[in-house]
Amino acid sequence: MKTDFKGTGVAMVTPFSKDKSIDYKGLENLIEYLIDGGVEFLVSMGTTGESAVLSTDEKLDIVAFSKSKINGRLPFVVGIGGNNTTAVVDQINTTDFTGIDAILSVSPAYNKPTQEGIYQHFKAISEACPVSIILYNVPGRTSSNMSAETTLRLANDFENIVAIKEASGDMEQIMHILRDKPKGFNVLSGDDALTLPMVLMGAVGVISVQAMAKPNEFSEMVRQGLKGNLEKARALHYPQLEIIDNLFVEGNPAGIKACLKIKGVCDDYVRLPLVGISRERYLKLENLLH
């Protein structure tokens, strides 16, 4: 069951055409661009993929199309999560997991469950899920932090919970997880700017947005960090910080979609309530990418 999710994973956007329909040619271009860029695994249907504004049928079509184009060349992770535990389990029970190596499942948003509620939520998901599970802690979006203690409890109690994408930004919390985690449980950065520091503390990779802007450079930075080649890793890390700063200031994935348009991979349309970035920001990113 388990795939070692290490190195650079990419939280892929969902490309749209001008009429806001799904741009499958753009999605194919993106997959090929990332594989050619040397990333280690691909993630679909996350926040960056605008899953919140996709219909059930669109999600199924995107996942099926992505599986066919990836064709086993890289591990493939699909976002399946939410704040209704029963609905998440029902989705798992009706999903065809052929060609899917793991799910990325976010800690419940909006409900603000207790730590015991978060544990029971993922316990139910674990018992239903036939593939590996990557937990996702992102309190900036969920308004609820999954504590180090809850993460470690889940990691120890359920064999198919194999990793966490940690985007709390709380380095002390992350260090507690890294220190006490069971063998084989992977910690992945969920914050592009903190990826190298987290790798140097013991994380084994990232699920990245920025890697779509510069896949070769970002994935090589992670590889050099994992090898302990600090001078080479730092030389790749610092030039990307200004890009990262500008990616998110007017919303995600509007910033990274602008980068992909600049690179000629796909267009930069987003669905409401998101809107595209300002012309000023676009020109700033264009300058940084060239």
Residue 50 counted as domain residue: yes
User: Which tokens go with 144?
Assistant: 């609820």
Residue 278 counted as domain residue: no
Question: DSSP string of 138-192?
Answer: -HHHHS-PPPHHHHHHHHHH-TTEEEEEE-S--HHHHHHHHHHPPTT-EEEES-G
Residue 273 has pLDDT above 60, yes or no: yes
- Concerning whether 119 is annotated as a catalytic residue, the answer is no
Q: What is the mean pLDDT of residues 176-202?
A: 98
Q: Kindly name the residue from 33, 59, 119, 136 that is annotated as catalytic.
A: 136
Q: How many residues does the chain have?
A: 290
Residue 142 counted as domain residue: yes
Pairing mode, strands 132-137 and 161-166: parallel
Q: Kindly name the residue from 59, 165, 214, 284 that is annotated as catalytic.
A: 165
Residue 73 counted as domain residue: yes
Q: State the total domains in the chain.
A: 1
Residue 198 counted as domain residue: yes
Residue 113 counted as domain residue: yes
Q: What is the pLDDT of residue 38?
A: 98
* Residue range 20-75, pLDDT digits in tens: 999 999 999 999 999 999 999 999 999 999 999 999 999 999 999 999 999 999 99
Q: What is the mean pLDDT of residues 87-113?
A: 97
Residue 271 has pLDDT above 80, yes or no: yes
Residue 289 counted as domain residue: no
User: Which tokens go with 77?
Assistant: 């992770």
Binning pLDDT at 50, 70 and 90, where does residue 4 land? confident
Residue 1 has pLDDT above 80, yes or no: no
Domain containing 223 equals 7-230
- Concerning whether 165 is annotated as a catalytic residue, the answer is yes
Mean of pLDDT over the chain = 97
Binning pLDDT at 50, 70 and 90, where does residue 7 land? very high
Residue 266 counted as domain residue: no
Say if residues 205 and 222 touch (Cβ distance below 8 Å).
yes
CATH number for the domain spanning 129: value is 3.20.20.70
pLDDT > 70: percent of the chain: 99
